[in-house]
Chain A
Amino acid sequence: MAEEEVSKYVTLISNDGFEFVVLREAVLISPMIKSMVDAKSEDHFPGQVMEKVVEYFHYWYKNREKEDVPDMDIPAELCLELLVAADFLGLDKQT
């Protein structure tokens, strides 16, 4: 997990080397990443899972104040991986 001190963005690196630049405000809904932002650590997910997690961060950020939230689709082959990822990142709480 790389981090730039004052930047608006946070770079998440998957375990197979993909880098995702994500809005810091969106990423901080995960208590796990919140604690990881300061300490440098490796991420455990492959790129395609990380891509969906990052998609969720932006989906949350875009819709957090909307009354009518569109559905986000997760392909069936990734549903178990994302279940484990959501559990690890603590993304199971009301926001």
Chain B
Amino acid sequence: MADEPTLPPLPSVSWDSGSQNFTRKRVRGASNAPPIFSNSSDPAIFSSDDDPNVENYAQGGRQRKKRYVGSWFQQHPASGDSAFGDEVRPKPKTKRTFQRQFDSGVWMGSDISTDMEEIGMEIGLTANPKMPQLNVSRPVPMPSPAEREAHRRIIEAIELGRENLDLTALGLERLSDAVLSSLSELSCIPLVTDGVPFEHKDPALKIFLSGNPLIRAPAALFKLEFLSVLSLRNTQLAELPPAIGKLRNLKTLNMSLTRLRYLPAELLDLMTHEGKLRELIVHPNPFHQPDQRHDYGTRFPVLSEEPEDVLLLHETDGKKAYEGRTIRVWLDKDTSLPEGKKSRHRTSLPLDVWQILLAARSPVQFTDSRGVQLSQFTLPELPTEDGVSPLVVETEELTSPPALPRSARENNATATSFSRVPSLMEIALRSCSRTVHREQLPEYLEGCDPHHLADTLRDLNAQADANGNAGTVPCSTCRKPVVKPLAHWIEWWDLGMVSLINGVSICPIDISELDKKSVPFMKRACSWGCLPRSTPYGTSFPGTVKFSFAPEPEVEES
């Protein structure tokens, strides 16, 4: 055993974690030290069987193995092993000199003392971070019992493939998007019977949220592509977000008995001949009312000449259908139907079609990209308390272009002279809306010099939450997504449903009811180049079918 190679001596100094300093006294028991200092591996117990010397086994007549404790460089025989006396232990030197100790290479190449100091500094830093920390701990509201019940019903509907989702009168004040969005995975369980071919059927979701004190519509609703019936009747909704225009399969929408002051203009797109919306219940609601309305005369104008650039969809076939006149149903060419559907006498025309006529328009409220108002006219604010009485809003002459703010008038600008180039701020805001850190952006600008920029970014986040998208809303004129529209105005449209019974006759709605049917729609423009143009009263909404009397004498064509 005397041939055993000599082991490197123990370091004469050691790190004391309590005093954060080097001490002459060696610390026994590494448990006091922080785990980063201690050797990560357990102390090894070695067998010396690799030294098959008979003396190892024959000494003292005891068949015992030599046992060593410690790492390879400072191992010593296990203390319980009495077979080896003190003569085997390395003698403690009376005077130790400081000596560099090379270990397994983890800290190779650097002095042990500087290593320790650096680690100590790093540990001090982690307790008090100097880097800016994002406040990510937001309060997560616990779902109310009503919400849990709603979640249960949603999950049940998904599991059973049920298309009707009845969430009426649960007392819901909010509905989280997470569970609602899982409805997009709902698929119908097809009917499997003899003689019925198996085919995939898109679900026609019907969601009834009526009778709940909902303050805003859950944004996940507008991502449910197959939503066909939506009832938000008798809720506390103050605004319907423009994202409703994404529900292309919506057939029925019930919005009565809410706090809505106006509807989004995108709803009109669902009512064109391409849209599927056939039933729209929006009364009673505290809608904004125009201060005056024009009588735009008959709803069936007489075509003075045979229309050239239109698609005739239907003619009453000589029958004296209405006031003894032949009535034509037609579409403008620019809103034409896809190829193959162009027939002179269509039979596939929907039985019910909307007639949407422009009745009035408010003045335009102009803002800049920060949201600072530039015009004198202000659209009424949404009331915060339960206001149920409709407000009367100023109107403007439809047949003239909208009045511009004073600053633009001083520059002799006209409504057609504005460029459609977005402002640099708008472009930057669109870029902000696309980043993954959109929700944290206001915190980055918190306390910076132009403090209103943080507010602008907060508005962007609120807009994103309401619409369930990145925070843009479409321009009503050019359809481009815009973060901060530069102009807002309200248009009142008369909505009426016209029924084509059996494809041969027309049953128009009662004209005397029109006054009650005028509905305000909020429109917005991405730039002042997209402002409303001057239009005559009673213009029909682009994309909707038009009705007219055939010119006198009647033109009969086969």
Number of A-B contacts (CB under 8 A): 96
* Contact call A95/B421, Cβ cutoff below 8 A: yes
Query: Which residues from 49 to 88 on chain A have a C-beta closer than 8 Å to any C-beta of chain B?
Result: 53, 56, 59-60, 63-69, 72-76, 78-80, 82-88
A56 to chain B: which residues have CB within 8 Å? Answer: 424, 427
User: With A92-B368, A95-B419 in contact, is A87–B425 under 8 Å at CB?
Assistant: yes
Q: Is the CB of A92 within 8 A of B450?
A: no
Q: CA separation between A65 and B527, bound complex, in Å? A: 13
Is A94 an interface residue when CB atoms closer than 8 A count as contact? Answer: yes
Whether a CB of chain A sits under 8 angstroms from the CB of B428 is yes
Q: What residues of chain B lie closer than 8 Å to A60, measured between beta carbons?
A: 419, 421
Q: Which residue of A lies closest to B404 (CB)?
A: A94
Q: A94: which B residues are within 8 A, CB to CB?
A: 366, 368, 408, 418, 423, 486, 527-528
Query: Would you call A8 an interface residue if the criterion is a C-beta within 8 Å of the partner chain's C-beta atoms?
Result: no
Interchain nearest-CB distance for A51 vs B (Å): 13
Contact of B435 among A66, A79, A93 (CB under 8 A): A79
For residue A91, CB closer than 8 A to chain B, the reply is yes
Q: Which of B421, B427, B452 has the most CB of A within 10 A?
A: B421
Let me know if A87 and B370 touch, CB within 8 A: yes
The answer to whether B448 has its CB under 8 Å from any CB of chain A is yes
Select B424's contact among A65, A73, A82, beta carbons within 8 Å: A82
**B441 on interface, CB distance cutoff 8 Å:** yes
Q: Is B393 an interface residue (CB 8 A)?
A: no
User: Does any Cβ of B come within 8 Å of A23's Cβ?
Assistant: no
Name which residue of chain B comes closest to A62, CB basis: B421
Interface residue A89 (Cβ < 8 Å from any Cβ of B): yes
- Identify which of A66, A68, A76, A88 gathers the most chain B CB atoms within 10 Å of its CB: A76
Contact partners of A69 in chain B: CB under 8 A: 419-422
B423 to chain A, nearest CB (A): 5
Provide the residues of chain A in CB contact with B424, threshold 8 Å: 53, 56, 82, 85-86, 89, 91-92
Report the nearest B residue to A73, measured CB to CB: B431
Which residue of the partner chain, among B370, B427, B435, contacts A72 with CB atoms under 8 Å?
B427
**What are 29 contact pairs spanning A and B, CB under 8 A?**
A60-B421, A65-B419, A66-B419, A72-B422, A72-B427, A74-B430, A74-B431, A76-B431, A79-B428, A79-B431, A79-B432, A79-B435, A82-B431, A83-B456, A84-B445, A84-B450, A86-B424, A87-B452, A88-B450, A89-B424, A91-B423, A91-B424, A92-B423, A92-B426, A93-B369, A94-B418, A94-B423, A94-B486, A95-B419
Residues of A within 8 A of B (CB): 53, 56, 59-60, 63-69, 72-76, 78-80, 82-89, 91-95
8 A-B pairs closest in CB distance: A91-B424, A86-B425, A79-B431, A74-B431, A92-B369, A92-B425, A86-B424, A64-B419
Which residues of B are at the interface with A, using a C-beta cutoff of 8 A? 366, 368-370, 408, 418-432, 434-435, 441, 444-445, 448, 450, 452-453, 456-457, 486, 527-528
